[in-house]
């Protein structure tokens, strides 16, 4: 079930088919299953939320900390512990909690019970708590002699600097803009990414030390690739995609009031564009197009605008609007067109709902076929047609369905490409940079790449790629072959690390052959970690354990069509502490024990028992006495999280 779908059906939760629930003799209930010769083993697997997260966050882990199940080290608050767990993979919790489209929530197994866990809202709480409390990252290790040049100061470049510094490497970040932040700052409006939070999350990275920042420097113009290669031991390309793709209609490039969504948002975020046009049409359907139309509704238009003040002149960088224009602006007519029907739009359903509330007109299932232009060469409208889309995703107009939408400004938000002027040698025919699975640039020794310039995608994707690239750089500088990536390539819970943290590490093992390891203190008894190989599906859980519990929704400020003009208040207001904890408690802890005691209570032989309190920790809560176990598999049947397999024995 998709995360956006409303739960309307009462589900049944059974691990058996009809007719398999009757027993001929009551004694069979207890004694018949001892012929299985199988006893429980405790298997750690990756939950689908983490498997769906492109930056590979240990989502289940920090949700367990928030809910109070996994305890922090002595002297640390749970808020700080959750912050440190969350930022192991992604150093931007306050940003991602607000703007990530949350593929983790779509993958959440709780969709099969009632509604997904509000992962984004809890992550925002973690990020905002870190902002309020002034948390800093742990002191990184001393730097060595190697230094890396990072080209681009957006999400991928900054995440790369962060992960490299944690590995002991100094870096220099070269950013062509005046400020760091990339798409966070220049591609997303500030009411979605509050600048005070953004600046703090960037500052927290720089405070780690040995990360030099050089803004206003464009590689290929102000400094050459050859100079970087001579001065640095490795290069990480994280230049993003700063150039929007135009519409595939005749005359687009020559028409002045036809612009890209990237350029439109850049002009707004630099505060040079204060108003837009009377009739704005945006072609897209993704999150960028939603931002364009939402900004256009907020900016509005003014009557009798001078030619030099038209929005396309500002977007082109030829002029800037005076703040006095703000007082005279009125509402603009804004239309968004999309190839797909609403259910198939790539923008999140919440963002589409908000745009409609704000007064945007949305036309679905249509494609642009031609521009209408006046004698002055400017577009006066866009011709559209209903369309059919083939299995390859290629649209075809339906004959006889053409119509026109009037426009003073037409914005294309159908995709992005890299701006590789000055560094053309790095690009391919699509104006992107090639990468192998380790995010090395093929045939360019010492060059690595991450982010949209590999393939335009999500912010979380760019951040995850940067982390892998940082590890690849580490192997390269050590003279090692790239490490083989796990099948499930995310940040995993490490039981041994947790045992060490809680001073419960196993005894030293002399590697002598022995039997009876179930009683040995050097072994973690009957525990198997398959998290790097398996994602646990919902049909391996006992879903009947979970009651339908409404999601704890954070407050949002979405102006209606009458209020939207000049409305730049932040959209998402975070959860409070108790709400965040309550939402985290909805997590089903897929693939890991969450200490429900079902297996202990329902075991007919008392074979399953709790680990002694002074030896217990997260991931180490129950154990089995195999001398009592008869293989009845009841413990596995009633385990809500799918943590128990009948795998020990013949």
pLDDT at 503: 85
Q: How many angstroms from the chain centroid is the CA of residue 98?
A: 10
Q: Do residue 229 and residue 254 come from a single domain?
A: no
275 occurs within a structural domain: yes
Nearest Cα residue to 444 out of 229, 604, 217, 149: 229
**Cβ neighbours, 10 Å, residue 78:** 18
Separation CA 244–CA 414 (nearest Å): 8
pLDDT at 35: 54
Question: pTM for this structure?
Answer: 0.91
Beta carbons of 43 and 644 less than 8 angstroms apart? yes
pLDDT at 7: 47
Q: Do residue 509 and residue 400 come from a single domain?
A: no
Q: Do residue 104 and residue 184 come from a single domain?
A: no
- CATH for 404: 3.50.50.60
Q: Do residue 424 and residue 410 come from a single domain?
A: no
Separation CA 454–CA 394 (nearest Å): 22
Q: Do residue 577 and residue 636 come from a single domain?
A: yes
Nearest Cα residue to 103 out of 116, 90, 112: 116
Helix (H) or strand (E) holding 397: strand 395-397
17 occurs within a structural domain: no
130 occurs within a structural domain: yes
Separation CA 332–CA 609 (nearest Å): 67
297 occurs within a structural domain: yes
Q: Do residue 576 and residue 641 come from a single domain?
A: yes
374 occurs within a structural domain: yes
488 occurs within a structural domain: no
Q: Do residue 460 and residue 528 come from a single domain?
A: no
Q: Do residue 518 and residue 641 come from a single domain?
A: yes
Q: Do residue 457 and residue 521 come from a single domain?
A: no
582 occurs within a structural domain: yes
Q: Looking at the 3D structure of the chain, how many domains does it have?
A: 3
pLDDT in tens, 372-427: 999 999 999 999 999 999 888 899 999 999 999 999 999 999 999 999 999 999 99
| Final residue before a domain boundary, out of 414, 433, 453 | 414
177: which residues sit within 8 A by CB, 6+ positions away? Answer: 153, 185, 186, 215, 216
Beta carbons of 259 and 247 less than 8 angstroms apart? no
DSSP state, residue 184: I
pLDDT at 650: 59
250 occurs within a structural domain: yes
Domain that holds residue 603: 26-51+59-134+494-649
20: which residues sit within 8 A by CB, 6+ positions away? Answer: none
Q: Do residue 257 and residue 373 come from a single domain?
A: yes
Q: Do residue 405 and residue 256 come from a single domain?
A: yes
H helices within 333-458, ranges in order?
349-357
Q: Which residues does the chain have with pLDDT short of 70?
A: 1-37, 516-518, 649-650
Q: Do residue 598 and residue 535 come from a single domain?
A: yes
Cα Rg of the chain, angstroms: 28
């Amino acid at each position: 079930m998709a995360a956006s779908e409303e739960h309307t059906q009462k589900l049944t939760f059974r691990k058996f088919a009809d007719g398999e629930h009757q027993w001929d003799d009551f004694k069979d209930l207890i004694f018949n299953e001892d012929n299985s010769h199988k006893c429980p083993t405790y298997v750690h697997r990756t939950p689908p939320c983490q498997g769906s997260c492109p930056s590979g966050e240990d989502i289940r882990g920090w949700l367990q900390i928030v809910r109070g199940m996994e305890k922090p080290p002595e002297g640390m608050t749970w808020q700080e512990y959750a912050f440190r767990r969350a930022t192991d993979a992604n150093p931007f919790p306050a940003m991602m909690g607000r703007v990530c489209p949350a593929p983790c929530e779509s993958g959440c197994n709780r969709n099969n019970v009632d509604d997904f866990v509000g992962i984004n809202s809890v992550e925002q709480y973690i990020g905002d708590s870190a902002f309020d409390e002034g948390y800093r990252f742990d002191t990184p290790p001393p730097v060595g002699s190697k230094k890396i040049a990072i080209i681009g100061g957006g999400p991928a470049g900054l995440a790369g600097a962060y992960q490299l510094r944690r590995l002991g490497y100094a870096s220099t970040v070269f950013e062509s803009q005046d400020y760091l932040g990339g798409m966070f700052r220049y591609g997303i409006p500030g009411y979605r990414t509050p600048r005070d939070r953004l600046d703090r999350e960037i500052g927290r990275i720089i405070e780690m030390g040995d990360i030099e920042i050089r803004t206003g420097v464009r590689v290929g113009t102000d400094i050459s690739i050859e100079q970087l290669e001579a001065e640095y031991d490795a290069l990480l390309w994280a230049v993003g995609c700063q150039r929007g793709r135009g519409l595939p209609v005749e005359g687009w490039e020559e028409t002045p009031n036809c612009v890209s969504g990237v350029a439109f948002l850049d002009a707004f975020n630099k505060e040079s564009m204060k108003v837009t046009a009377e009739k704005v049409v945006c072609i897209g359907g993704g999150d960028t197009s939603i931002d364009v139309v939402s900004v256009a509704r907020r900016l509005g238009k003014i009557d009798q605008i001078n030619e030099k003040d038209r929005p396309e002149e500002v977007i082109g960088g030829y002029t800037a609007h005076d703040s006095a224009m703000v007082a005279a602006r009125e509402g603009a007519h804004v239309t968004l067109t999309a190839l797909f029907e609403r259910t198939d739009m790539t923008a999140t359903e919440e963002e589409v709902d908000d745009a409609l509330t704000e007064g945007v007109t949305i036309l679905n299932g249509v494609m642009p076929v031609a521009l209408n232009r006046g004698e002055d060469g400017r577009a006066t409208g866009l011709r559209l047609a209903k369309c059919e889309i083939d299995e390859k995703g290629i649209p075809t107009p339906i004959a006889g369905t053409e119509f026109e939408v009037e426009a003073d400004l037409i914005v294309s938000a159908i995709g992005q490409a890299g701006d590789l002027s000055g560094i053309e040698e790095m690009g391919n025919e699509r104006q992107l940079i090639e990468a192998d699975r380790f995010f090395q640039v093929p045939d360019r020794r010492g060059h690595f790449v991450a982010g949209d310039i590999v393939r335009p995608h999500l912010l979380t994707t760019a951040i995850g790629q940067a982390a892998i690239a940082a590890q690849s750089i580490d192997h390269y500088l050590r003279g090692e072959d790239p490490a083989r990536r796990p099948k499930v390539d995310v940040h995993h819970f490490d039981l041994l690390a947790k045992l060490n943290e809680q001073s419960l590490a196993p005894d030293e093992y002399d590697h002598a052959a022995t039997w009876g390891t179930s009683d040995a203190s050097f072994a973690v008894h009957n525990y198997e970690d398959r998290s790097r190989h398996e994602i646990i599906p919902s049909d391996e859980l006992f879903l009947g354990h979970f009651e339908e519990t409404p999601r704890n929704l954070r407050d949002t400020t979405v102006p209606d069509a009458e209020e939207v003009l000049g409305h730049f208040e932040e959209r998402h207001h975070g959860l409070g502490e108790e709400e965040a904890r309550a939402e985290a408690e909805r997590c089903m802890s897929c693939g890991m024990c969450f200490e429900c005691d079902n297996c202990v209570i329902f075991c007919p032989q008392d074979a399953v028992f709790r680990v002694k309190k002074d030896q217990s920790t997260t991931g180490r809560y129950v154990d089995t006495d195999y001398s009592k176990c008869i293989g009845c598999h009841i413990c596995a049947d009633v385990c809500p999280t799918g943590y128990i397999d009948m795998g020990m024995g013949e």
